[in-house]
Chain A
C-alpha cells in the first residue's frame, strides 16, 4: 500500500547498544545535545556553556578539581579498607603490611594521604577565589553557605582519617585536637566523650573515627557536593560579569563579577 520504503530493523548488537546509550556518535550538534540530556552524569552540565566560563583563568577549575580529589580519595580509600582493621591491636600492623607486604599498598596509602592534603588545600583555594570574585552574590548566597559546610566536612574527614594509622603522629595529633574541643564552654566535654567513646583516645575512639571517616562523613559529603553542584547549575553556572562584546573578553574573567 504505502509507497515509502520499509525501514530496515537495526541489528542485534546495535539494538543492545542503543538500549544503553540512546544517542548516536556525538558528531552532530543534535547528538552532542543528547549526550548531555540523556546521560545522568553529564546532566550536571547544560548542553551549551559560555566560552568565557570555560576558560582556565575564570575559575582555575578549583571546584571541579576538589571534587576530583574526593573521587580519587574514595577509590583509593575503598582499596585501603580491604586491608585495614580498626582495632588498636591490629591497625598499626595492617599499616606495616600495607607498606611492606601488600602489592602496591605503599602507593595506595601515599596516594590517599597526599590526595587528602591536596583536597583540603584545593577546597580552601576554591573558597578564596569565590570570595574574591564575589561569586556568592544573589541568587548564589545559600550555595556559599553549603560550600562553607563542605569545607568543614572536608577538614573533619581529614581529621578523622588522621587517627587511623594508629602511630604516634596519629594518636597525639588527635589528642591535641580533642583537647581543644573540651575547652568549649557548654558541652565541650560531652562532645569529646561522644567522639572518643571514653575520656582518652583508645579503641572506642578508633572505631568511631573509622565509621565517621569511611561511611558517615563521605556519605554526607557526597550528598552535599551533589547539592552544591546542582544549585551551582540552577543559579546559572560560573559567575561572570555581564557580557559586553568580544573586545571585552580578554579582561573580564580574571577580575570577577561586579555589577
Chain B
C-alpha cells in the first residue's frame, strides 16, 4: 500500500516545504543561516598540504640538529640507576614511587582509561553550565570539602606522601576559587563548567607527574634538580 506520493517541483505554492518532527533535545541541527562554504579543492587540500610540509620541515630540521640517544649495548647484568621507562610512561613510574604496583600500575591507569571511554555516554561537558552561576558559597564549600577529601584519599593508600599529586590539586583549588570570586585574570574562567575543571585537573596531574619523573628524578628515584645534576 502506497501511503506517500513523493512530489518534486519548483513551485513553492504547489509543493509543500519539508516538515521535520523532532523530539525535545534530539540534537537535530537545522540550518538557520546559510553557512559560507568553500570548495575542498583547492582550499582545504592546499591548507592540508601546507600543514604537512611545515610539520615535515620542522621534524627534518630537528633530526638534522639533534641526534636520537643511543647508549651502550644492552647488558642484563648491569642495571642503570635509575632505570627509566620511556617519557610518556614516566608519570606512571612516578606513581609507582608512591603507591603499591596494583594501585599505581593497574587501578589508577585503568580508572583513567575507563573515565575517558565513558565520557561521551554520560553527557559530560556537553551542556556545560558554569560551576558557580548560582549558590556560590555552597558550591565553594563543597569544592573544598571535595579537594581536601581527594587529597586525603590520595595520601591514605600511599607508601610515600604524594606531594606531587597533592600540591597541584590544592593549587588547582585556589585557581578555581579565584575564578569563582572573579579575581584578576582568573575572572575569565568564571563561566567554566565542572567538566572543564576536572579534565584540566587530570591533565595538570599527568603533566606534573611526567615532568617530575623525567627531569627531577635521579639515582634511587631521589629528587634531583636538573639544572644542577642534569637529567637522568
**Chain A residues at the B interface, C-beta cutoff of 8 Å:** 26, 29, 32-33, 35-36, 42, 45-52, 54, 61, 64-65, 68-69, 72, 88, 92, 95-96, 99, 106-107, 109-115, 117-118, 120, 127-128, 131-132, 134, 136-138, 140-142, 144-145, 148, 152, 155, 158-159, 162, 165-173, 175-177, 179-181, 183-185, 188, 200-202, 236, 242-246, 258-259
Contacts and interface: CB of A to CB of B under 8 A. Distances in A.
B102 interface: yes
B33 A245 contact: yes
A49 B37 CA distance: 5
A198 to B, nearest CB: 12
B199 A258 contact: no
Given A110-B66, A158-B86, 15 more contacts: A26-B42, A36-B41, A48-B37, A50-B37, A52-B35, A54-B38, A54-B47, A110-B63, A111-B63, A113-B68, A159-B89, A172-B83, A184-B105, A243-B32, A259-B127
Interface string B108-138: 0000010011011100011110000000000
A236 B60 CA distance: 34
A64 B54 CA distance: 13
Nearest to B62: A114
Contact-residue bracket for chain B: 35 or more
A140 B29 CA distance: 14
8 contacts: A29-B39, A54-B38, A110-B64, A111-B59, A112-B68, A148-B116, A167-B72, A168-B73
Contact of A137 (B68, B92, B126): B126
Closest 9 pairs (CB-CB, A-B): A183-B101, A171-B74, A110-B63, A141-B120, A113-B68, A172-B83, A136-B120, A180-B105, A243-B35
A172 to B, nearest CB: 4
Given A45-B40, A145-B120, A115 B59 contact: yes
Nearest to B109: A180
Contacts of A46: 40
Interface string B30-59: 011101111111111101100110011001
A131 B70 contact: no
Nearest to A95: B70
